[in-house]
């Protein structure tokens, strides 16, 4: 059986980490596309030369012609510019909308059957743009944000409770970043919901509120530390987990930016919701009952995403 093919559009910080993780997990052969000549080829060769030591078999190649992604099973898009200190995600809109238009056309031409994971910011608008530009079925195009946001939340909760990160589950809804809606009552330690842990005296409501706030600002915290770029290890790990669920038909339930067609009262937008990811792409949107506060938070988040999408279409009319 031939190996699966993973195509990475964008060979920067996240792209390089994705290539290494895809190799380590033996997800398949890897190609990296980037507009900067030499970088994708160099990163691919460097990782290929690590493979005998790390003990994995995969071919890795790079190039600056979209033809390299031909026949890919999974495409992960990080192309564009990252956020710099003082720059909001929305500032990235103008540049990255054009990049999504080009990437969408490349995918439509060379990898129309792929499962596509978009990471480029501002995420919820860029995944919409990519789907529109590529014309791929909406259930085969998703955005990575919720897995990262919930990983950050899980990490902070595990630190607070002094338990393994593996025993902490977290549940986040809504757009990426400031408008994220963490659902405390569905976040657990070994199945015990966080509100119960507060009652048990393991933590306080104040501490949990602080953790929620830190999670919301998780991206900015890293940007302020790195100064020359944004997070890349955890975002790459999160996207690889999504690719793995698709390629192995694991049917994992994960929060992703998924196309909503009426679910949660939203139509025609990508917003973060829990979905089942299997061989069919997004196989099901998990629609939970929200309480009034959560509903309001989700509606606000969806409105923010709608504003971003409208701004994107204005800047890049080819997406209308």
Residue among 110, 115, 171, 232 that touches ligand A3D (CB under 6 A): 232
Q: Is 274 in the site for ligand A3D (CB under 6 A)?
A: no
The tally of CA atoms less than 13 A away on the side-chain side of residue 279 is 3
Position closest to ligand A3D via CB? 12
Query: What is the Cα–Cα distance from 120 to 81, expressed in whole angstroms?
Result: 8
- Residue from 12, 28, 62, 182 in contact with ligand A3D (CB under 6 A): 12
User: Is 235 one of the binding residues for ligand A3D (CB under 6 A)?
Assistant: yes
| List 10, 62, 274, 281, residue binding ligand A3D (CB under 6 A) | 10
Binding residues for ligand A3D, rule CB under 6 A, total 35
The answer to whether the CB of 133 falls within 8 A of the CB of 101 is yes
Q: Is 102 in the site for ligand A3D (CB under 6 A)?
A: yes
DSSP, collapsed to helix, strand or coil, labels residue 252 as strand
* Pair of tokens at residue 249: 């038909």
Give residues with Cβ within 8 angstroms of 285, minimum separation 6.
258, 260, 263, 273, 274, 275
Task: Using the rule CB under 6 A, give the single segment among 231-239, 267-275, 283-291, 295-303 that binds ligand A3D.
Answer: 231-239
User: Is 78 annotated in the active site?
Assistant: no
Element (H, E) at 221: helix 218-226
Cα torsion at 172, 215, 177, 304 (round to 10°)? 60
Binds ligand A3D by CB under 6 A, chosen from 60, 99, 138, 273? 99
Phi first, then psi, for residue 281 (nearest 5°) are 85, -130
Residue 120 binding ligand A3D, by CB under 6 A: yes
Q: Which of 44, 69, 121, 316 binds ligand A3D (CB under 6 A)?
A: 121
Rounded Cα distance, 260 and 173, in Å: 13
Residue 242 in contact with ligand A3D, rule: CB under 6 A: no
Question: Would you tell me how many other CB atoms lie within 10 Å of the CB of residue 310?
Answer: 11
**129 vs 189, beta carbon nearer ligand A3D:** 129
Candidate ranges 4-12, 48-56, 199-207, 283-291; the one touching ligand A3D (CB under 6 A): 4-12
Contacts to ligand A3D by CB under 6 A? 9-15, 34-36, 39, 78-83, 92, 96, 99, 102, 119-121, 123, 144-145, 148, 176, 219, 229-232, 235
**Residues classed as catalytic:** 176
């Amino acid at each position: 059986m031939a190996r699966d093919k993973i195509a990475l559009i964008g060979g920067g910080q996240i792209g390089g980490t994705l290539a290494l993780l895809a190799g380590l997990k033996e997800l398949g052969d890897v190609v990296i596309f980037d507009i900067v000549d030499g970088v994708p080829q160099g990163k691919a060769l460097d990782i290929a030369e690590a493979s005998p030591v790390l003990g994995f078999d995969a071919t890795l190649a790079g190039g600056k012609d979209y033809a390299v992604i031909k026949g890919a099973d999974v495409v992960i898009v990080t192309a564009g510019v990252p956020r710099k200190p003082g720059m909001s995600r929305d500032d990235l809109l103008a540049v990255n909308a054009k990049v999504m238009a080009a990437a969408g056309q490349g995918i439509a031409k060379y990898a129309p059957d792929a499962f596509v994971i978009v990471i480029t910011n501002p995420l919820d608008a860029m995944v919409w743009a990519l789907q529109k530009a590529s014309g791929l079925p909406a259930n085969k195009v998703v955005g990575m944000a919720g897995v990262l946001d919930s990983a950050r939340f899980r990490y902070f909760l595990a630190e607070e409770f002094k338990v393994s990160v593996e025993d902490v589950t977290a549940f986040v809804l809504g757009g990426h970043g400031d408008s994220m809606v963490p659902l405390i009552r569905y976040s657990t330690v070994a199945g015990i919901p966080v509100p119960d842990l507060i009652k048990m005296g393991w933590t306080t409501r104040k501490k949990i509120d602080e953790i929620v706030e830190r999670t919301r600002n998780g991206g900015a915290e890293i940007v302020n530390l790195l100064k020359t770029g944004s997070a890349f290890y955890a975002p790459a790990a999160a996207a690889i987990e999504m690719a793995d669920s698709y390629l192995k038909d694991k049917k994992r339930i994960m929060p992703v930016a998924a196309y909503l067609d009426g679910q949660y009262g939203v139509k025609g937008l990508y917003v973060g919701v829990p979905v089942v990811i299997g061989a069919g792409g997004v196989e099901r949107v998990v629609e939970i009952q929200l309480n009034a506060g959560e509903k309001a938070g989700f509606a606000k988040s969806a409105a923010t995403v709608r504003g971003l999408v409208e701004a994107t279409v204005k800047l890049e009319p080819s997406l209308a």
